[in-house]
Structure 1
Amino acid sequence: MPAVPPSPPARDVLTPSSLNRRVRDLLEMHLPSVLIEGEISNLARPASGHIYFTLKDANAQVRCAMFRPKSTWLKFRPENGMQVLARARVGLYEPRGEYQLIVDHLEESGEGALRREFDRLKAQLQAEGLFDPANKRALPALPRCIGVITSATGAAIRDVLSVLSRRFPLAEVDVLPVPVQGREAPPAIVAMLERASGAGYHDVLLLTRGGGSLEDLWAFNDESVARAVRASAIPVVCAVGHEVDFSIAEFAADLRAATPSAAAELLVPEQGELGRRLQLAQRGMVTRLERTLHTQGQRLDHLRARLQTLRPQARLAHGRERLSALQQRLVRHQQQDLAARKTRLENDRARLQARHPQATLRQARGTLAQLQHRLSQAIGHDLKRRRETLQYDARALHAVSPLATLERGYAMVLDANGKLVRSAASVAPGASLDIRMADGTLPVKRI
């Protein structure tokens, strides 16, 4: 009689749901949190308040979901094509068997990171008092020598020199060339500020460059540059970029100008305006001299009048006038006191009527009616909120109910005790089974 081969060992038969749960557990165990940077695409904002999108680079993409309330805490509005940095947990969307990222935090990358560093450094230096207005120094009214720290070949120096030569050609302009962009710019600017400050040759320094992107202007947001500006022994005017551009160095400077040309106009007076100011000063001196002569003449007339009043007849007439004035003041004071007493009496009578029990009762009835109305509104709002919560919970419960799974064509196998059969090996031949489907149960036996 041939030998019966041994049966293979029993193995667990997995369903797609149980397999997905195992995969999900493995992902969450080995990749609890990741940082990922990429470009947003396929962005969707359903009415639920969640945000669904895809993060991609040149070679791959991954689905992402950001649920409420974290999606409502974003400080910017995500858009397709935006480069972002996300902190997320790796998860598995079981209905489709696809892995996805559950985003907990989302922020802009690239220029957004530079903007955050700008805000951080600005807050730090402001807390140290580096931008304190009390430390700002006044600029010289007529500077004899101006040091301009900028690129020798940029458009900014041409604008500055043109404005200075037109407004005040008497001022000497010393161009102190430095790079204004790139990694070598901050140390070069710091060294030039320290050298000019130590030399003491200039009356004022102008630190400037033309416009550009945030990355182009970043040398002027360097901490060492801001501290060198503040430590300069010579007043510093700073004008970086266009009117809408702001840099850390400008906050630290004694004066900030919107553009290089505007800075040049602030440094020196206009020669025609200076001539007009000299003419005004001359006319002012003549006017003050005439006013002084007029005042001294009035003083002489006053002394002459005082001499006349010292005569006995004049003093007696003055005494009579003073007595008459005091009598009139006494009458007015009595009338005012009587009117004040009448007013106080009317006020006391009104206050007494306001505190009458009937008035208090009317006020209490009005307050009671308002409170009853507010209570009715609060009860209505609470019932509406509870009804919406109940409806939401019912929908959520139905979404995870096994009955919903049965309605999609699946079935459950139950043994004679009504327990779920998870393995064929656990059912003996001839055992009675029930196959439960969405619309009923079929009794069967294992052969």
Structure 2
Amino acid sequence: MSSAPEADILSPSQLNTLARSLLEDAFPLVWVEGELGQVTRPASGHLYFNLKDARAQVRCAMFKPKSSWLKFQPREGLRVLARGRLTLYEARGDYQLVLDHLEEAGEGALRRAFELLKAKLQAEGLFDSERKRPLPAHVRRLAVITSPTGAAVRDVLSVLQRRFPLLEVDVLPSLVQGDAAAAQVTAQLRAAAASGRYDAILLARGGGSLEDLWAFNDETLARAIAASPVPVVSAIGHETDFSLADFAADLRAPTPSAAAELLVPDRHDLAQRLQVLQQRIFRAQTHRLAAALQRGDRAWLRLQALHPQARLQNLRQRQQEAGRRLEALWLRQQEQRLARLRHAAAILRAAQSDRRLAVLRERLQALGARPQAAIARRLQHDALQLRGLARSLEAVSPLATVARGYSILRKPDGSVVRSVSQVDAGERLQARLQDGELKLRVE
């Protein structure tokens, strides 16, 4: 009689451990969509429930802290999308899903579609920063594509009016929610870009759920934004909301009001800048005018110094000054000699020498005549030099030419006429002669 083959004998815990290892190694991370049932959340903060459909159910667990990060309140009957790994709960011998992500099924589908389309357009380079256009320094005309009755348009217009009332704003009405919204927004965007009227285009919408904002995740709209020749600013939803329009736009603003502040400067800041620029221009003009006046004064002084009469007057002043210095020198020498003579006379009187006194008187008479002769010779030399300079000045002076029978023709503005081409018939002229001026008229 043959015996059965020997086999390892396992305990229940060993068997469960083996089964758990096989489940965790064989199954990757899985996504499961189903309806919540038997939802419990004990004091530990963990979340336990069943995911079920019409024919089966799976036990699920979501441990803290991931369960505390959920953006919705799990409740029975709610359809959800879950992501997790299969494992075995050894205490009961049941397999279960341990989840790391849980979301509502409807929004989850939209979110997956959003991520797939975003990845596609990003791979094409539609969101690259290199292709984005810079906003103009000063926007003169702005197109706002939004609902004409929503809160977003009121916020935008209020901010624009407060910050920069001179801006021309056109509100291009469009649906911003629903099946037809994406097509309307795209049509208005293309029309505004093709018109050539606007410096920038603003897409604006208030906050809402992912489904409410879904029109701005349209692929055609994203491509139209990227292809627009006019810079596009996107302000869709709140600061935490992101759409494909935000990624394709040249600038994304967290809210419609913030977009309005980014598009236009504050009028008070502009007024201060203009005031500073005006002051700088005034200072620059004042400095240039002062420099020009100084240059004019220096030029006038140089012209005056080169004038013949001015040079003659200067020579006369130099001659007079030389004469005064010579006279003063002679007087000082005469006083010194007289003092010495008085001293000598006193000595002679003390010595009672009549002969010595007579000799000194003769010397005094001789010395008295010498300074006068020197002064006369110096004055004669200076007079000859002055007459020579006067003859040189007269030789180059236009008045000497006039004295020889010529005349100088001038226009009323003082300019000299050197050619017949400088005057016209009927024009009045002034002729300078030796003994006066004549007023003439050209025939």
Give the TM-score taking structure 2 as reference length: 0.48
| Greater C-alpha Rg | 2
Give the TM-score taking structure 1 as reference length: 0.48
